[in-house]
Copies of this chain bind each other. A is one copy, B any other.
Amino acid sequence: MDEESEKPERLDIPKKAIYRLSIYHRCLQKLKDNGQDTVSSTTLAKAAGVKPAQLRRDIGYFGQFGTRGLGYPVDGLIATIREALGREHLQPVILVGAGNLGSALLRYHGFQKEGFEVIAAFDARPDEARARTLNIPVHDVTELENFIFNNDVKLAILCVPIGFAQEVVNRLVASGIQGILNFSPIMLEVPADVTVNNVDLALELEHLGYFIR
C-alpha cells in the first residue's frame, strides 16, 4: 500500500504514473506490431487515453528518450518501461484459493501474455476434478511455504474466502512474497515492504452506482 523503503530515486514517481506505464507499454507493443518505429507523444497519448503533456512527464521520470522534432523510438521506450516495471524476465506467480474466481483466473490468459507465469495454485481442499480441467498443478495449501521458498516466488494472487485471507497473507509474507494481488474484499495488514493491490469487484460495481441516475 505504501513504501518508504530502500528503493532509490523511484520514490517520487506518482503511483498513477506507474499504472499508466503499463498502458503505454501495451500501446507501444501494438505500434511495434504495426511496424512503427517512432511515435510522438501526441499519438501515443491518444492511444493511451491521456494528454500528451502527461505522457511526456511520465516518461520523463525515467530519463530522456525522445528526439525533438521526431518523437520516441518505439523499441527504446518498450525496453525502458519493461526495465522500470521489472519485466525483463518472466515472473513466476502463484495463486492461492482455487475456488470459482480463482479457477477462472487460472484459465484467463491475460497474465501470461503480459510476462507473468502462474506456476502453481494452492487450495485448502484441492478439487481433483477441477484441477484436471486446468493445466496448472493445484497443491494443498500446506505446501505453500516450501514451494514459495524453492521457486523463489515473489508474487501471489489471493482468492481465498474473506475469513482466511489475513491468515494466508501472514504465511505468504513470512515465506518471502513481496507483492499480493488481493481479490478478497478486506484490508490486509502487511509490513511496509510488501505491496498489496486490491481488486474489489463488488466495490467497482458499487462505485458505478453513484454515477448512474
Contacts and interface: CB of A to CB of B under 8 A. Distances in A.
A178 interface: yes
Interface stretch (A36-44, A108-116, A119-127, A164-172): A108-116
B202 A111 contact: yes
Contacts of A111: 201-202, 205
Contact of A205 (B25, B103, B114, B201): B114
A209 to B, nearest CB: 5
A18 interface: yes
Nearest to A10: B210
A94 to B, nearest CB: 12
A185 interface: yes
B199 A204 contact: yes
A157 B204 CA distance: 10
Interface of A: 1, 3, 7, 10, 18-19, 21-23, 25-26, 47-49, 84-87, 91, 93, 100-101, 103-105, 107-108, 110-111, 113-116, 154-155, 157, 178-181, 185, 187, 195, 197, 199, 201-213
Given A25-B206, A116-B206, A197-B208, 10 more contacts: A22-B206, A49-B187, A86-B212, A100-B107, A104-B104, A110-B185, A110-B201, A114-B202, A116-B205, A197-B205
Closest 3 CB pairs of A and B: A104-B104, A179-B208, A195-B211
